Structure 1
Amino acid sequence: MMRFDPFREIEELTQRMDRAFSSGGAQSSRLAPPVDVHEDEQGLELTLDLPGVQPDGIQIEAENQTLTVQAERKYARSEGRTAHRVERAYGTFTRTFSVPSKYDLTKVEADFDHGTLTLRVPRSEAAQKRAISVRSGGQVAGSKTLDAGQEQAQPEANPSAETAQSE
């Protein structure tokens, strides 16, 4: 299921306007690269297409639950050479994501391979699922389950208590 992104249509319209008013597509313009966003129990994974971009030309910023990726692909114009058609996208690639607070932007990992940038944003420690131990009489008794009509469950971690109750 895809989430509705109200800014996606604005980005696409901006791209079309940039292309329409640039001279042959060779001028610098702002582009929103396509992205895939996946989530699992470890966190988020964002995959962006940045064709023709060098790894050292990629800027990734994380601030106030916002993740921004920016890169530039320049058009190399040579003297004495005529361009009859320029259809590939050139300019600045920019994409900004609002990341929920359950993810830790201080631990973002980025990998760039053959024009594909993969960002991994792990879940924050506070958002991790964990088991909670239950104490009984000041001792850790393990997890307990109460059935309807039963006053107290049997402790799992104290074998002497089981012997005392069964006698």
Structure 2
Amino acid sequence: MDKQHEVQKTGAARDAGARYASDALTPPVDVIEDAGGITLYADLPGVTRDKLQLQVEADTLTIEAESGLAVPPDLVSSHTEVGLARFRRVFTLSKELDSEKVAAELANGVLKLRIPKAAHAQPRRIEVQVQ
């Protein structure tokens, strides 16, 4: 392989890496439903709280985040396949869920969101009066 072809190939790989860094990845999410609501677990490796944005608008929940692999200042990378990653995931929430009471926790690269059912969707016991 000649030197010019090698440079072109390396440039193409670098361009491909830049393209992947600009596209958002879809994080895997587990959704668990119980009588009180739903819990979402989203895998967001390398994401810190300051790089995480959660938004609820009408019936739409949006998760956006960025992670980055910090390279020590005394090292120079000759080839990088893992760099800045952007995550984005959008969910449509049921009218049975109370989007005003979303609780979020981030620990060890896993985002946990708890969304309780709205009062009108909660099971309730009806008292029977005796006359």
Same fold (TM over 0.5): yes
Looking at both structures, which has the greater relative contact order when contacts are Cα pairs under 8 Å and sequence separation is at least 6?
A: 2
Name structure 1 gaps, 5 residues minimum.
1-18, 135-140, 142-154, 159-167
Q: Distance in 2 between matches of 1:73 and 1:125?
A: 37
Q: TM-score with structure 2 length normalisation? A: 0.76
User: Which secondary structure does the structure 1 equivalent of 2:94 belong to?
Assistant: coil
Contact 1:58 1:69 in 2 (8 A): yes
Read off the aligned partner of 2:101 and give its amino acid letter.
K
Deviations 1:115-140 (A, max 9, x none): 10000000000101112234xxxxxx
Aligned length: 118
Contact 1:26 1:90 in 2 (8 A): no
1:31 aligns with 2:13: no
Deviation at 1:50, TM superposition (A): 0.7
Determine the structure 2 residue equivalent to 1:12. Answer: none
Q: Which has the higher strand share?
A: 2
Deviation at 1:57, TM superposition (A): 1.4
1:112 aligns with 2:102: no
Deviation at 1:42, TM superposition (A): 1.0
Q: CA RMSD in A?
A: 2.6
Contact 1:68 1:97 in 2 (8 A): yes
Deviation at 1:20, TM superposition (A): 9.8
Q: Distance in 1 between matches of 2:16 and 2:109?
A: 25
1:54 aligns with 2:48: yes
- Who wins on radius of gyration, i.e. which is larger? 1
Picking from 37, 43, 46, the partner of 1:43 is 37
Deviation at 1:83, TM superposition (A): 3.1
Read off the aligned partner of 1:81 and give its amino acid letter.
V
Determine the structure 2 residue equivalent to 1:150. Answer: none
Determine the structure 1 residue equivalent to 2:79. Answer: 84
In the TM superposition, 1:72-151 aligns within 5 A as: 72-76=66-70, 81-86=76-81, 88=82, 90-134=84-128, 141=129
Are residues 41 and 80 of structure 1, via their aligned partners in 2, closer, same or farther at CA, if it must alter by over 3 Å?
A: closer
Q: Percent of aligned pairs with the same residue?
A: 36
Contact 2:68 2:83 in 1 (8 A): no
